[in-house]
A and B are shown apart, each in its own frame.
Chain A
């Protein structure tokens, strides 16, 4: 097998870019695909956010306006997504549903992250018996299926947005706590923590100046990745009829309500809410994934001489 001698692309004054002949795998391959993924995710997410923010004020149409003469119309110019079994415009219903879902997703992810980071950081920083106690607590919580626990929490309150937020938040902090604790433990054994202690830094100072900033990127990433999770969880609760009251649009509720018409061959009342769940969550996950690669220290140190 003869070695091919490709003529490398010369740039100005005789320099050749390492990329011209493949460069290193880490930096070279998959780059285009990654860029595309980030762009598509960003555009989709921007569209979703704009729709959610702008549609309600710009189109002051009552999304709950029932028009029984126009029920279950397929998509048309008048109703791009068609209408549901009560003749309500599905596009509007979806946008309002997504609004609720995003709100629930963001707030619940925030609750989960704050709780998880606090517990994880405390467990990691304190160590010993406190650590064991807290992590066993986490284990106990994890042993109960999320949805079951979520249903239990929702069932204790009247239907509404906040019980759902609480339900999602209280069931999703466990993984964040584990991630943060592991990160804190790994940071805690670094010589630079030893150096800080030796330099007279107090416990609080070590935690606030050295440990928490080190953990923050991971915690924020966990929070962002939690948003799609929370949206799905909310949808699942609503689908089971436990989420928001029936008159308020929610993506899970819409899908559930349309189950019957799907059997009758009317595809649009399930398809569009379904897409509204899937697309934003994929977009958020795509962006978070790209960001995770960026903060990966191995990639950052690629240029070390």
Chain B
């Protein structure tokens, strides 16, 4: 499934934190996925499943006690706007870079902001309260693109336009903006250097429905412009609105990776956890998955979901690998009755699961 044009290619990425007493917290285990330009991948899961750690790893923002394994290759990608591309030599070098192996200087100097834009969870907290949006945009433009002084103003205006931030509000301070405008301002900052990859960390948490719709529409627009978007969220409804593909994370692993159409539409998710998560939505069965996720510091051997699963068998003592979009020994087959909590009736495990 590895598309040749993948902009971001994560292979076997694991992150663990070394704690006192030689303990480890296994936050991310063996995660692999590809993300192409013009595609949105929603990484969903409950709080503490490791999805934010994954994002921090891709941005090189992990604390000192973190250890990593595996790779994450950020491809060159094509320039998005070939026409308006005479940006003065600052960053035409878009060689592939290994985000896991790169040192801080590389990440700070050529990757963060320039090739990966971060759209933060709470834009109001992300913006400096003591400076106007214009001042912050211009500073970012100067810092990231090396635009000549007299063109900075125009470049900042262009960046604001790209995020649909109204020019009339540029001289406002962040606290004077509504939630929607603050979100756009933060997005404008993320888009200044025309980064081909955007990472949005819980962009809709705590927003009301209207603002969620709005944010999701904005983000989708950037995807349709040819950017790749990795959206980290626990909000399935928001994911449904925007994602081309959905990756469900459970206890640090991606347990399901499916096209959004299949995940939310007819066939439904095939991993029992993903299935249960979708079924817990109020518009569906509104029934919780029994139990709670395991501690990342004390993961059970084998399938981490087995203790909560109704389909557990001996084989579940082995960690299932992500095959065909599902990391389960006994995935639900397409069209299985959407009954949660009860053992599925039609669950013929297909031949080679592992």
Chain A residues proximal to chain B, CB less than 8 Å: 1-8, 11, 14-19, 21-28, 31, 302-303, 305
Contacts and interface: CB of A to CB of B under 8 A. Distances in A.
A194 to B, nearest CB: 18
B103 A22 contact: yes
B102 A18 contact: no
Nearest to A12: B67
A16 B100 contact: yes
Contacts of A18: 62-68
Interface stretch (B46-54, B117-125, B223-231, B280-288): B46-54
A11 B67 CA distance: 9
A136 to B, nearest CB: 28
Interface residues of B, number: 35
24 contacts: A3-B95, A3-B97, A5-B101, A5-B102, A6-B102, A6-B106, A14-B69, A15-B14, A15-B16, A15-B67, A15-B68, A16-B100, A18-B65, A21-B101, A22-B104, A22-B107, A23-B63, A27-B63, A27-B64, A27-B65, A302-B63, A303-B63, A305-B25, A305-B296
Contacts of A305: 25, 27, 48, 50, 52-53, 296
Interface of B: 14, 16-17, 25, 27, 48, 50, 52-53, 56, 60-69, 91, 93, 95, 97-98, 100-107, 110, 296
Contacts of B17: 303
A297 B63 CA distance: 15
Contacts of A22: 60, 103-105, 107
Contacts of B100: 8, 16
B257 to A, nearest CB: 21
A24 B61 contact: yes
Contacts of B16: 15
Contact of A1 (B52, B60, B63, B110): B110
Contact of A21 (B14, B65, B104): B104
Contacts of B67: 11, 15-18
Contacts of B102: 3, 5-6, 21
A13 B48 CA distance: 25
A2 B66 CA distance: 27
B246 to A, nearest CB: 21
Contacts of A4: 103, 106
A20 to B, nearest CB: 8
A15 B66 CA distance: 10
A305 to B, nearest CB: 5
A28 B65 CA distance: 10
A11 to B, nearest CB: 7
Contacts of B48: 305
A19 B64 CA distance: 5
6 A-B pairs with least C-beta separation:
A22-B104, A27-B64, A18-B66, A21-B103, A15-B67, A18-B62
A10 B97 CA distance: 18
Contacts of B63: 18, 23-24, 26-27, 302-303
A21 B48 CA distance: 25
B118 to A, nearest CB: 13
Given A16-B68, A305-B27, A5 B62 contact: no
Contact of B62 (A3, A6, A15, A23): A23
Nearest to B297: A305
Contact of A23 (B93, B101, B104, B106): B104
A14 B68 CA distance: 8
Nearest to A2: B93
A17 B110 contact: no
A10 to B, nearest CB: 9
B116 to A, nearest CB: 14
